[in-house]
Structure 1
Amino acid sequence: MKKEEIYQYLKKHQISYEVNEHKAVFNMGELDSVKLLYPEWDAKNLFVRDDKKRNYYLISVKGDKRVDLKNFRKQLGLRPLSFASADDLMAIMGLTPGSVTPLGILNDIDCKVHFYMDSEFAGNIIGVHPNDNTATIWIQADQLIHLIREHGNEADIVEV
C-alpha cells in the first residue's frame, strides 16, 4: 500500500487519524526541522532480523529513545539481532530506508514481521509514516496494534 491507500485503509476500518504533510525526512535528525502536531509522540522505527535471517522484527520507540538491541533480545529471549537489509525491507514490507513504519506491516503478505511497540505509547497516540516519508500520521497506538494483529502479524507492547 502506498500513502493514499493507507489513508483509504484507515478510513475503511474507521480509524480516526490526523496527518502532517511535510518534506521528505530520512532520519530522526532531519525530522527536527519539521513542525509536527505532537512531536513528543513521534516514533522511531527499527527493522531488525535475527542472526539466522529467519525472524524479522519492527521495534517502535519514542523518537529520542535509544534501543540496545543486545538487551532487547535478551529481555525477550530472541536470537542475536542486527539491522535488516534494504533488500529485505523492500521484499517484506515494500518500503525503502527512511520510510520504515509499522503501517508497512500491512504489506507483509506472509506475516513475517513481529511488531514490538514500546509501552510508553500504550493508551496514547503514535506518529508514524503512512508508508511514505513525506507525511506523519497520528493515530491511537492501541488501534495500530489492533490493525497489525487483524492483518495477521504478531504485535506486542513491551518495555524497551
Structure 2
Amino acid sequence: MQASCFTFLGRPDRFSRTNVSGAAKDDSMDTRDTPEGRAEEPLPTSPEQLLEHLAALGIRTVTHRHPPLHTVEESKALRGALPGGHCKNLFLKDKKEQHWLVVALEDARVELNRFDKVIGSARLSFASADRLWRHLGVRPGSVTPFSVVNDRERRVRVVLQEQMLAHDPLNYHPLLNDRTTAIAAADLLRFLRASGHEPLIVPFGEEPPDSQPTLA
C-alpha cells in the first residue's frame, strides 16, 4: 500500500523530481503569536542539509517540487502526481509544557481530550507558531517529522499513527512546503531514532483511541 503525507497545490505536470525530501502539509496550531518578520529568517536546517543528512544515514529519498501548500485540501488537487499516503502533522503541548509531534493519516480522528490519555499526557492543546519555530525550526504549513532534526535538546516527543506505517512510501515536507519527499516507513523510523527521538506508535483514527502506546 502506498501512502503520501502532504498537501498539494497546482497541476501534476508542475512537479519536478529531485533528490530532496518532501512533506505532507497539515498543521493545526495557533499562529497568532508568530513574530513579525519570521518569514524572513533563514531556516536553522535547509532542505538541502536535511537531504544530505538522510543520505549520510544511508536513506534513499525522492523529492518533488511544487507550489507552496498550506492545507490538506490544497494537497488533494495533486495527489495523482505523487504516490503514497496523505498525512497530517499536529504540534501540541500539554499542561506540563511537554511538546508532542503527532503524525497520522489525514483522515485520522485525533480527539485531544481522549488522545492525551493514550500517550500518557494531560490537557493537550495546539502549540503556538513561536513554539514551533523555537523547538522544530519550521513555520506553520511546513510541519513534518523531519523537523526533529532541529530538536537537539530532545524537547519534543514524536507520536506516529500505527496505520500510517503500513503505507509505503510516506511523503513529508523537507522543512519547506514547496516540495515533498518520499521515504520508506522503515527509513522514517531510522531517521527518528538517529535523531534521538524514539517514537510512540499508537493505533488510532477510526474510533476514539483507547489503547496504550508502544515504543517503536
TM-score w.r.t. length of structure 2: 0.69
Aligned to 2:185: 141
Give the structure 2 partner of residue 37 of structure 1. Answer: 82
* Counterpart for residue 130 of structure 2: 87
* Residue of structure 1 in register with 2:120 after alignment: 77
1:96 aligns with 2:125: no
**Of 118, 130, 133, which aligns to 2:161?**
118
Letter of the 1:43 counterpart = C
* Higher mean C-alpha displacement, 12-21 vs 80-89: 12-21
Q: Going by fraction, where is strand more abundant, 1 or 2?
A: 1
- Look up the match of 1:2: 46
Higher share of residues assigned helix: 1
Distance 1:17 1:43 in 2: 17
Larger radius of gyration: 2
What is the percent sequence identity of the aligned residues?
32
Unpaired segments ≥5 residues, structure 1: none
Between the aligned partners of 1:72 and 1:114, the Cα distance in structure 2 is: 14
Q: CA deviation at 1:121?
A: 2.4
Q: CA deviation at 1:33?
A: 2.4
Counterpart-to-counterpart distance in 1, 2:198 and 2:95: 20
Q: Is the partner of 2:148 in helix, strand or coil?
A: helix
Structure 1 runs of 4+ off > 6 angstroms?
none
Deviations 1:7-58 (A, max 9, x none): 111111111112121110112112122344125x1221000000232x1110
The answer for unaligned runs of 5 or more in structure 2 is: 1-44, 205-216
Instruction: State the Cα deviation string for residues 68-122 of structure 1 (Å, max 9, x = none).
Output: 1122112222111000100000000111000000000011111111111111122
Q: Report the Cα offset of residue 143 of structure 1.
A: 1.5
Aligned length: 158
Q: Aligned-residue CA RMSD in angstroms? A: 1.5
